[in-house]
Structure 1
């Protein structure tokens, strides 16, 4: 009989679903917490937004009345503030009142004479109310002060219209103070959107906290379940120890599990055969592709051999990428890279041949003519260089130059990818290597998730090196997008290889 295996909670995660497909208790706890948090945030956001809207409306109404009071005070004396002479006409009153009052953002002053538009403030507005006949009919010839609203092409307009008369002038004027309400409320809308974003972050944090707390609460049950699963997979002859007190719920669970183990022992061998077959089938697709490529028969054998070699190499590299995705977070482990003596100029030439298909750019190779051997993982370094080349392609346009090169000293080899693209701001040169980070000044966006530079940094770190960012090779010539950027893989040369 195999010795029993002790399993802790960390050995196996608690599943999201129970055996019969229903959500686990941990998931239900998180779901209820999220429901309460999201409901509360929704109520707070809506109430806050409504309060901000009401405050904005009240502020607009107060401002409208204040402006009318200022117009009245300006014209109450009957004399022009410019020269102190009496007003000669209603037209002069309108012109003076609008000229001597400065409109706020989203506010508009208009003057009408006998129902026809005459003057307006210089403040830009979303729509031209002066040319709106519907608004002119409502506000341009009112016989008494009117405070109302109007639906314009830019949304709601709140306005006050006040008639203006002058002794000795039969003309009738109207001064209108209007606010574009929807535009004035945009600050409240922005605040609501900010609250929604903050609420989303809060909900995520609450879900994480609930997940952790629920895990601690359910840990005893999880320990029993994990132990039962481990015994099922490693030693079906062993049983779970019930402990001194077997009268509680956990004791009943242990007895039920031990009885279950008696029934499932006979099916263990079939299960293992199934796992072996599944592993074999997962490898079959790649094996089939290689088998077909190896028997390709076309007119040019040399091209066939080159194509087969290239595709086979890429398939192997993709297979390793898929296999290593689970350990990218542990890139410092030795198995992440497999260094071997590598011909650096040949590696760069092969990388350039692959990278030149990424985009229509002026690809070039410099500084790689002299022999240079370094202890590198060729496939991983190729992957990192292609990531940097793809990044350069996404930040350049046709006509820009992308250069691959190499240099070495007594201890390091420097593999660089330089371009004449838009470049990287100095403030971004450390941040862009974080996962999901992008340059703040980049106008172009790649189709990736923002992990490319993080992967390149992980590959360099696994070799004991790092990635440096500096200015590119842009010189300001026509056809170049900017100064560009240079990404350099700085890798140890290894003690057993000297620079030729």
Structure 2
């Protein structure tokens, strides 16, 4: 950018200089033509304006004409008679004096018989723009010439100085702009360096680093936020993978050990021992299969494709889930209340969560015990709950009941302890959570609370 601006400055300076030079050249040419008019006005009457007497010689005409016209700066008047130099203007002595002594210039202008306009390159004075005018007088056979000359190079010094000043000022300004641009570019690009430094330090063992934000709502901060969001998703994916591997390794080790231990002591000659071992192995393999399925489901819950939301009639969804739940066990299932509204959610996942909660309630409720099911729209949230008349949840177990592989209650279930974790994962995927309300000895209520996204508010939820 600085090179482009510098090029533009050079072009502007050159064009401006050329325009100034052309203006100076035009002014010199116009001044020379004006001198012709003045000489003609002076000599036409044939009377000396200073004495009022008629001119007596060509040389007198030339001397009076040169004395009468005041030369401008860098302008010179010279007079020649019969090819010989006679006089010149005295207002601006100096470099112009060399013209009077220049025989080559005299040969060019001293003997002209008609007005001649031209240019002459002098070794010292540079370019000379001139106009030579022949002068004659009746009664005098001598032939004279008056020359009006401009020192072109000297006259253009002002234009050259202006161009040089533009170039110097522009260069100094460019240097200042370059220094300011360097500082500003450093400040602007600092977040990009932070991005590079941060991503360089991120490894497969530590994904917690994030690019620092400047707290400004601009393009760079939005870029930083996007990169940090990407790092969050990468860390979440890696963490989910690690949890899956750790959980699978932790929980599968026990059934594998059990199977191996029974196979090692198996007596192939004893049919009863073989049958009992096969039954045990099938049971353990079935438990391992359920455990792997649950772990895969928890891993999928952190992916964007886990939910398939749609507009759902909540009342119909609750009644359909109740019809499935009521067949789980011999319990007194009751549909308490339903939310008569429509909302955007994943009906299969919500049904899955309710079935898991009802199955958990059935496990910890005596046969014939009471289990309630319901849904409600309250304060911008949808609530789906399962209540039971079981033993409830103690304060010690309340803190860990939603953790993976947690098993609690007076009756230890033979499951993997992933049911409530899956329920919470479904609720969190919907942007909600699971609430537990329980008094030990008086039952428990598990409530899935999710935002009530209505059809008109759905934007790719």
Q: Which has the larger radius of gyration?
A: 2
Q: Could you tell me the TM-score, scaled by structure 1's length?
A: 0.40
- Greater relative contact order (Cα < 8 A, sep 6+): 1
